[in-house]
Amino acid sequence: MSTPLFLTSQQVSDRWAQAGILGRCNKPISPATLAFWRSEGTGPSPVKAAGAIRYGIKALRRYERENFGQECDVTQNSDTHG
């Protein structure tokens, strides 16, 4: 399966949760938190297309490296031995 070029706020939240990046109280960083960060001018850089907010995967990976010290791409079956 190929990686999409743009992600929704929910997809970003899910991506980070799968990678173990959590917010307060060890809960996933929510789409509402991402919306707050947008209003504050912090967080990953969003793109607005046709009235919808999306996050470009390249910018998102750069943000993750700078703020989390890792890219949060989760590969399935990475520990599978055949």
Confidence check: pLDDT of 3 > 80: no
Name the pLDDT band for 50 (thresholds 50, 70, 90).
confident
DSSP letter (8 states) at residue 25: G
Q: What is the pTM of this model?
A: 0.83
| CA–CA gap between residue 68 and residue 29 (Å, rounded) | 13
Looking at the chain, the whole-number percentage of residues with pLDDT higher than 90 is 78
Task: Check residue 75 and give its pLDDT.
Answer: 57
Which of 74, 82, 69 lies closest to 19, judged by CA? 74
Task: Give pLDDT tens digits for 10-46.
Answer: 999 999 999 999 999 999 999 999 999 999 999 999 9
